Amino acid sequence: MELSITRSKNLKSKPDDANLGFGTIFTDHMFNMDYSLDDGWQAPRIEPYGSIEMDPATMFLHYGQGVFEGLKAYRTDSGQIQLFRPQENLKRLNRSCRRICIPEIDEDFALDAMKQLIALEKDWVPGAPETSLYIRPTIIAMDPFLGVRASHTYRYFIILSPVGAYYPGGFNPIKILVTSDYVRAVRGGVGEAKTPGNYAASLLAGEKAHDAGYTQVLWLDGVEQKYLEEVGAMNIFFVIDDEIITPELNGSILPGITRKSVIALAKHWNEKVTERKLSIDEVIDAHAAGRLKEVFGAGTAAVISPVGQIKYGDQVITINDNQTGPVAQKYYNAITDIQYGKAEDPLGWVEAVT
Ligand SMILES: *Cc1c(COP(=O)(O)O)cnc(C)c1O
Ligand 1 atom with the shortest distance to the CA of 298: 8
3-state secondary structure of 299: strand
DSSP summary character for residue 27: -
Return the pLDDT at 1: 85
Instruction: Let me know how long the chain is.
Output: 354
- The Cα–Cα gap between 27 and 11 comes to 9
Q: Are 283 and 310 in contact (CB under 8 A)?
A: yes
Name the nearest CA neighbour of 162 among 123, 125, 194: 125
Return the pLDDT at 52: 97
Ligand 1 atom with the shortest distance to the CA of 260: 8
Residue type, 28: D
- The Cα–Cα gap between 253 and 230 comes to 7
CATH T-level topology, domain 174-339: D-amino Acid Aminotransferase; Chain A, domain 2 (3.20.10)
Q: Are 300 and 71 in contact (CB under 8 A)?
A: yes
The verdict on the CB of residue 217 being under 6 Å from ligand 1 is no
CATH T-level topology, domain 4-163: D-amino Acid Aminotransferase; Chain A, domain 1 (3.30.470)
The verdict on the CB of residue 133 being under 6 Å from ligand 1 is no
The verdict on the CB of residue 191 being under 6 Å from ligand 1 is no
Question: Domain-by-domain residue ranges, the chain?
Answer: 4-163, 174-339
**Per-residue pLDDT reduced to its tens digit, 255-270:** 999 999 999 999 999 9
What residue ranges of the chain have pLDDT lower than 70? 168-169
Q: Are 83 and 300 in contact (CB under 8 A)?
A: no
The verdict on the CB of residue 303 being under 6 Å from ligand 1 is no
- The Cα–Cα gap between 23 and 26 comes to 8
> Of all residues in the chain, what percent carry a pLDDT higher than 90?
96
Residue nearest to atom 1 of ligand 1 (CA): 233
- The Cα–Cα gap between 313 and 294 comes to 20
Ligand 1 atom with the shortest distance to the CA of 257: 7
Ligand 1 atom with the shortest distance to the CA of 198: 13
The verdict on the CB of residue 233 being under 6 Å from ligand 1 is yes
Strands (E), the chain: 4-5, 29-36, 40-48, 66-68, 71-75, 81-84, 132-141, 154-163, 174-178, 216-218, 235-240, 243-247, 273-276, 292-299, 303-312, 315-318, 350-352
Distance in Å, CA 147 to ligand 1 centroid: 31
Return the pLDDT at 139: 98
3-state secondary structure of 74: strand
- The Cα–Cα gap between 89 and 94 comes to 9
Q: How many CA atoms lie within 13 A of 135 on its CB side?
A: 27
Ligand 1 atom with the shortest distance to the CA of 299: 8
Q: Are 308 and 296 in contact (CB under 8 A)?
A: no
- The alpha carbon of 291 is separated from its chain's Cα centroid by a whole number of angstroms, namely 30
